[in-house]
Structure 1
Amino acid sequence: MGPEIVFIFLFAVIFGVFYLYFSTRNKERLALIEKGADASIFITARNRKAAPFWKVLILNLGLLAMGIGVGVLLGALLSYNFGYTGGYQNRPSNYIQTETFYLASIFLCAGASLLIGFNITKNLDKE
């Protein structure tokens, strides 16, 4: 009973978000047309020169992969240099500390690379 209900609620939430988005957009446009506003405001956003989607996607995926690679390297260096040499009774020595170094450095470097990708994409859209 558990997984089925989760998928039903997930589908309902996705359907609700799309329904609200499209119905609200339609109502806003109809209200603007009734007031006599110019319909060109709906077209100008499409004519704006923006970087193609595939270029932005490849740029961000490449930077994310590089960030993860740097994070793994940084985690290995940190665990080698600052690894905890003591151990717990049932676990290998330095298990928890090494895992923490790896995870923290991977997430930090991946997040930093995505921020760099966002800034580069923003600069591409300005040009």
Structure 2
Amino acid sequence: METTSAALFISISLVVFGISYYYFTTRHKERMEIIERGLSPDYFKNQSNFLPMLLVLGLSSVGVALGLAVGLALCDFFPTKKFLIIGLCIFMGLGLSLIMSYLVLKNTQKKG
């Protein structure tokens, strides 16, 4: 048991290191290429906008919560298939919330 948990910890650490190394080296190469082409280094300041990501995460969380609530409410009517009903309702709520966030982002990009 201890060997398995140590191997799991090492493999997760290697995956996190590999992804972060790839992200930072790629970002550095992109920035160097942009600077070589003549853009100013101020181009990189204030370039991140987290509002669309926060909107998607918020609506997804609400969708999962509503799906769980509806699934638990439906379990009273179908007591033999609780796990299936709860799982289906959670994924249905998540899917509907992702569609809703897509439509909201599409409307905001049209206006902006």
Same fold by TM-score, threshold 0.5 exceeded? Answer: yes
Aligned match for 1:124, one of 95, 100, 104? 104
Distance change in 2, residues 1:60/1:47 (3 Å): closer
Counterpart in 2 of 1:18? 20
Letter in 1 for 2:99: N
1:27 Cα deviation from its structure 2 partner: 0.6
> Conserved in 2, the CA contact under 8 Å of 1:75 and 1:105?
yes
Residue identity over aligned pairs, in percent, reads: 30
Q: Tell me, in whole angstroms, the C-alpha distance in 1 between the residues paired with 2:88 and 2:64.
A: 11
Q: What does the per-residue CA deviation read over 1:40-67, in whole Å, with 9 as the maximum and x for residues that have no partner? A: 765685369x4582x6544432321221
TM-score normalised by structure 1 residue count? 0.64
CA RMSD of aligned residues (A): 2.9
Q: Which moved more, 1:69-78 or 1:36-45?
A: 36-45
- The equivalent of 1:36 in structure 2 is 38
Q: CA deviation at 1:108?
A: 1.1
Letter in 1 for 2:66: M
1:44-123 correspondence runs (5 A): 45-46=47-48, 50-51=51-52, 53=54, 56-79=56-79, 98=80, 101-123=81-103
CA contact (8 A) 2:59 2:98 kept: no
> Aligned equivalents of 1:24 and 1:118: distance in 2?
29
CA distance in 1, matches of 2:43, 2:93: 35
Bigger proportion of residues as helix: 2
User: With CA pairs under 8 Å and 6+ residues apart, which has the higher RCO, 1 or 2?
Assistant: 1
Greater C-alpha Rg: 1
Count of matched residue positions in the alignment of Structure 1 and Structure 2: 105
Unaligned runs of 5+ in 1: 80-97
Gaps of 5+ in 2: none
1:20-77 deviations in whole A, cap 9, x for unaligned?
A: 11111111221222133576765685369x4582x65444323212211211232332
Is the CA contact (8 Å cut-off) linking 1:51 and 1:124 kept in structure 2? no
1:17–1:47 Cα change, 3 Å: closer
